[in-house]
Amino acid sequence: MLTLVDREEISRGVAEGLEGRAIAERIGRCPSIVSREIARHGGRETYRAARADRTAQRARQRPKTRKIDADAYLRLVVVELLKQGWSPQQVAGRLPIDHPGDQHVRVSHEAIYGWIYALPKGELARQCLVLRSGRTRRRPAHGRAPRAPRIRGIRWIDDRPADAVDRQVPGHWEGDLVVGKDGKTAVATLVERVSRFVVLVPLAGRDATTVSEAVIDQVQGLPDVMRRSLTWDCGPEMAEHAAITLKARLPVYFAHPHSPWERGTNENTNRWLREYFPKGTTITNDPDYLQAVADELNNRPRAIFGFKKPKEVFAELLTSGIASTG
């Protein structure tokens, strides 16, 4: 921060008609700091060191009232969306869409983060506010990676249609299992690559027959334009993938072993799903409960869509796809 001595030197330089760079060299500061200081406090015509220093001192006084604290309605909206599991970025990006006529209902995601971090832990707990967080780095692999399971008729992701790669054509899905306590329960997750729309498939078991039949039942109702491909990992639960291809007319492809980034959309979705089913907990197969969880995930706005929601994007794709084939 500039001191009063610095500001007095700036004032003398201004009086002498020196350029901002010359003044900056005199006080050992960056030229941009000097130019902003002069502009902030009246410009060259009215800059005075003592007045500028007093103004700067007042501006640094704490505590300052945060925008979220100052506006009760804004605070109510932000808190309710955070409780739904939205990130501060999603909240900030969605406000102009949901409140187009209310210019005061605007706040940056940085301001939301700052407001949350400033709250005492007890207050966070009282308001049930918890930020979503994930690992900051990938877990290291230990030892040699095991071989891929023996799945008959396997087709690798390299053979997947080209339009699945660039996310320009809907109907390409990524799938996986999220496993519960002791490996006894699980739910199948399906994510559409263009819209990031999530479908949760209830499972009564993890064997290949149970998983394939459950996936078939879930996707058979989709129009043909929404059943172009399904990419899975090399888990044994997909050993009967041929049944899905035949009965649901949904070709199944496999990511390479130990390459989760090839199904990044699904991996990211599964991380969010762990907010509802933490590791070490039992995963229900109640279809109504799983549908409610899927609805919440599909109702979270995404920055990549200009803060539209996956359910909105999926509905648009579904409508346009049916119209183009009709």
β-partners of residue 229 are 172
Give 241's pLDDT tier (boundaries 50, 70, 90): very high
**Closest residue by Cα to residue 27 from 48, 42, 12:** 12
Asked if 168 and 196 sit in the same domain, the reply is yes
Question: What is d(CA 115, CA 117) in angstroms, rounded to the nearest whole number?
Answer: 6
pLDDT at 134: 37
Residue 139, number of CB atoms within 10 A of its CB: 6
pLDDT over 80 (residue 1)? no
The domain total for the chain is 3
Report which secondary-structure segment, H or E, holds 205.
Answer: none
pLDDT at 296: 94
3-state secondary structure of 172: strand
β-partners of residue 189 are 176, 200
Asked if 294 and 228 sit in the same domain, the reply is yes
Q: Does residue 317 lie within any of the structural domains?
A: yes
* Domain boundaries, position 114: 67-127
Q: Does residue 90 lie within any of the structural domains?
A: yes
pLDDT over 50 (residue 66)? yes
Asked if 97 and 215 sit in the same domain, the reply is no
Asked if 111 and 204 sit in the same domain, the reply is no
pLDDT over 80 (residue 141)? no
Asked if 298 and 225 sit in the same domain, the reply is yes
Asked if 236 and 311 sit in the same domain, the reply is yes
Least confident of 96-105, 119-128, 198-207, 217-226: 119-128
pLDDT over 50 (residue 6)? yes
Q: Using the 8-state DSSP alphabet, how is residue 122 labeled?
A: H
Both structure tokens of 206: 């993890």
Q: Does residue 147 lie within any of the structural domains?
A: no
pLDDT at 321: 65
3-state secondary structure of 62: coil
pLDDT over 80 (residue 76)? yes
User: 25, 44, 61: which is the final residue of a domain?
Assistant: 61
Both structure tokens of 279: 């590791």
Mean pLDDT taken over the chain: 87
User: 16, 35, 61: which is the final residue of a domain?
Assistant: 61
Question: What is the side-by-side order of every strand in the sheet holding 172-179?
Answer: 198-202, 186-192, 172-179, 229-232, 252-254
Q: What is the mean pLDDT of residues 204-225?
A: 93
Rounded to a whole number, what is the largest CA-CA distance in the chain? Answer: 86
Identify which has the larger pLDDT, 299 or 124.
299
Question: What is d(CA 277, CA 267) in angstroms, rounded to the nearest whole number?
Answer: 15
The residue type found at 307 is F
Asked if 104 and 192 sit in the same domain, the reply is no
Asked if 75 and 57 sit in the same domain, the reply is no
What confidence tens digit (pLDDT) does each residue in 252-270 have?
999 998 888 899 999 999 9
The pTM of the full predicted model, rounded to 2 decimals, is 0.62
Question: What is d(CA 27, CA 47) in angstroms, rounded to the nearest whole number?
Answer: 17
Q: Does residue 151 lie within any of the structural domains?
A: no
What confidence tens digit (pLDDT) does each residue in 24-55 have?
888 888 888 899 999 989 899 999 999 998 88
